[in-house]
Every structure is written in structure tokens, then in C-alpha cells.
């Protein structure tokens, strides 16, 4: 088995084994995030997809597509050079589930953003994401997220003045 790097996406590739549709969808999702292409991100999500931020002790509410899209739209103008890197993937092809360990890095209006994620994505038969569970770095959430929210608020205020 060989490893190759493709646009910040490390994949295990075998010459004789094609990628599953779910793995292809994950790769498209990572590439869409790396371009901050919100339409492409949501094209991979089922209309009823829910994003669940974990651990639950952080108290985040599940996000439907409308809520999550609004959040990404607020983040996009203050993030530059956003890059996801996939470190590991575990896939259950029969159950149409993928678990991926990722790191994110970006320049933001609040400083350098560095985060670590563990995504568990569940897919329907049409390879759309129907459930997205996302473990995040609680330290980043506790320490950096308030600064990021302040930067988003400042950006919104500057937009209303223009």
C-alpha cells in the first residue's frame, strides 16, 4: 500500500482497490473546505443532515444545514489560508460510515487558528452525509473561539457601516 499527498489530503491508496463512494465524498468535502466553497460543502450533505459538536459537555446544540451554513458564512470572511489535513481514516463500508482524524490551520482576524477534529460521517445510499459528529479540541473551543466570535462581530459591524 502506498501513501500520497493530494491537496492537503493524505490518503492510503492501493493500485487495485478503488476508493469507496464515501471515501471519495470525504475527499471532496476536505477539498471544499480547503477552498472555503460553502456550496460544495453543502452539496455533500443531505437536506436533513445534522452536525453534532462533541464532547457534549461543551453544550453545543446540534446544527441543521441552515444553522451550519450561517456559521460558515460568518467565518469565511475572517478565515484566510484555511487548510484541513487528514491524518487517519477508518471506514465501515457496509454501514456507510467514515471516521477521520483531521487538523485545521488558518490565518484569522483573531490570530492563527489551529484545531484538531475527529469526524464521524454517516452516509445514505446516495452518498450524502446524513449525520456528522465532530469532536473538537476543547482548549481551542474554550480559549480561541471567544476571540473568533469577537472578530466575527466586528466584521458584521463593519459591514453594516459600509
CATH number of the domain encompassing residue 72: 3.10.450.50
User: What residue numbers bound the domain in which 62 lies?
Assistant: 2-161
Produce one character per residue of 108-134: b if its CB has 16 or more CB atoms within 10 Å, e if not: bbbeebebebebbbbbeeebebbbbbb
pTM: 0.83
Phi, psi for residue 126 in degrees, rounded to 5: -90, 10
Q: What are the respective helix, strand and coil percentages of the chain, to the nearest 5?
A: 40, 40, 20
- The CB-side HSE value for 47 (13 A sphere, CA atoms) comes to 0
Distance CA 30, CA 146 (A): 25
Per-residue pLDDT tens listing for the chain (162 residues): 334 434 444 444 444 568 999 999 999 999 999 999 999 999 999 999 999 999 999 999 999 999 999 999 988 998 999 999 999 999 999 999 999 999 999 999 899 999 999 999 999 998 999 999 999 999 998 999 889 888 878 877 887 776
Is there a contact between 105 and 88 (Cβ–Cβ < 8 Å)? Answer: no
The total domain count for the chain is: 1
CA distances from 47 to 28, 36, 66, 98, 101 (A): 18, 20, 9, 19, 25
Amino acid at each position: 500500500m502506498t501513501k500520497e499527498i493530494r491537496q492537503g489530503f493524505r490518503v492510503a491508496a492501493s493500485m487495485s482497490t478503488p476508493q469507496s463512494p464515501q471515501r471519495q465524498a470525504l475527499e471532496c468535502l476536505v477539498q471544499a473546505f480547503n477552498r472555503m466553497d460553502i456550496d460544495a460543502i453543502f452539496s455533500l450533505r443531505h437536506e436533513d443532515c445534522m452536525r453534532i459538536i462533541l464532547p457534549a459537555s461543551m453544550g453545543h446544540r446540534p446544527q441543521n444545514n441552515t444553522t451550519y451554513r450561517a456559521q460558515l458564512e460568518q467565518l469565511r470572511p475572517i478565515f484566510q489560508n484555511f487548510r484541513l489535513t487528514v491524518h487517519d481514516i477508518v471506514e465501515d463500508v457496509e454501514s456507510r460510515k467514515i471516521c477521520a482524524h483531521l487538523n485545521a490551520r488558518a490565518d484569522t482576524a483573531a490570530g492563527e487558528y489551529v484545531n484538531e477534529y475527529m469526524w464521524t460521517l454517516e452516509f445514505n445510499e446516495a452518498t450524502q452525509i446524513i449525520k456528522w459528529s465532530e469532536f473538537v479540541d476543547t482548549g481551542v473551543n474554550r480559549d480561541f473561539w471567544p476571540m473568533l466570535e469577537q472578530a466575527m462581530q466586528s466584521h458584521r459591524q463593519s459591514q453594516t457601516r459600509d
